[in-house]
Structure 1
Amino acid sequence: MEKIYLGMNGYVVCLKQKNGEEIWRTKLKSSQITNITLDDDKIYASAGGHLFCVNAKNGKIIWENGLSGLGYGACIIATSNQSASVIAANIQAQQSASIAAGAGATTAATSS
């Protein structure tokens, strides 16, 4: 079964690619922007200054690291199993998402 994985608002979500039906949803310890990277059967997700390893098959959290002292900024995730082109595409997508989120916050702040 082909799947799509999303990171949104502190959740990691798995959907069926064919019809968008939700397979599982996992709540992380944050409601912030959630960056994800898939590596074989594991999803690495960053949210709220924490890094999580999630089982891609069932959504169970395997481990969590609080990344002590690193703060709460955007996190770019790469693994040793990814090619350089995949890593570059992930970085570009995550930077674009950060820029879009910042622009939305600026627009919301100026229209208040």
Structure 2
Amino acid sequence: MTISVENLLVCSTAGKIYALNKTDGSQIWKSDLSGIHDGVASLFVSSDKVYIGMNGFLVALNLVDGMEVWRNSLAGMGYNEVSLLVTTPNPEEGTSSGVQNAVVIVASYGKVCGLTSDSGDILWKNGLKDGGYDLPSIILDSSDTVLVGCGKKLYKINIRNGKTIWQKKISKCLFGCSYVTMATNQSSLQNSFMHAGFCNNPIAQHSIKDKEEKKYGAFLAIM
């Protein structure tokens, strides 16, 4: 069945990815993401691909038929939830071929990295100095910079080379959830159009809280 990409709804549950016709709810394709265990998936649709971050992996699927284009195991990021966004190429810049590829920004386990959208190769990695090993949150600031929140700290990072422009500790609290949520006027306008986002649909935060509660329960059980 052929369908316009504008009518596709991509969703995830129980570690699988589905594409539905949002007009009548019929299923167009399904991907089992072989080799990646059940987890909370972050999704981002851009151009002809849907990008999935789950359990320390980043996978790109063809938006039309669901076939896997590439995957990256994100070495050094563990097997945790993944924050994800895809930049829009700056038309004023270009490569030797005259076309600039979008950059995929992923963050997990206290790190953030940029990958090429066409092949999934890592362009750069930033260890978010002194940010700990929490799940970072990310929002696009401009075509060249991304804002990252992690471990009660904020970072502004250059998308092209991964270098930290500035960093700021925003809290000295010793207790409480260290997941950072952020909003700018532009990011809120974008969320109002797509009606979804990590900061207003806290699925990742809920997953982290669930893990912490289980860990605390196990600790009490052996006391």
Q: TM-score range by the shorter chain?
A: 0.7 to 0.9
For residues 41-73 of structure 1, the C-alpha deviation after alignment (integer angstroms, 9 at most, x for no partner) is 211111111111111111000001111446653
Determine the structure 2 residue equivalent to 1:65. Answer: 168
Q: TM-score, normalized by length of structure 2?
A: 0.44
Determine the structure 2 residue equivalent to 1:38. Answer: 140
- Native 8 Å contact 2:151 2:180 kept in 1: no
- Native 8 Å contact 2:134 2:178 kept in 1: no
SS of 1:89 mapped into structure 2:
coil
For structure 1, the residue ranges without an aligned partner over 5 or more in a row are: none
RMSD: 2.3
State how far apart, in whole Å, the 2-side matches of 1:105 and 1:20 are.
32
Matches within 5 A, 1:46-65: 46-65=149-168
Report the CA distance shift for 1:108/1:19 in structure 2 as closer, same or farther (over 3 A).
farther
State how far apart, in whole Å, the 2-side matches of 1:68 and 1:111 are.
29
Larger Rg: 2
Name the structure, 1 or 2, with higher relative contact order (CA <8 Å, separation 6+): 1
Aligned residues with identical type, % of pairs: 22
Determine the structure 1 residue equivalent to 2:200. Answer: 92
- Native 8 Å contact 2:113 2:126 kept in 1: yes
Q: TM-score, normalized by length of structure 1?
A: 0.81
For structure 2, the residue ranges without an aligned partner over 5 or more in a row are: 1-100
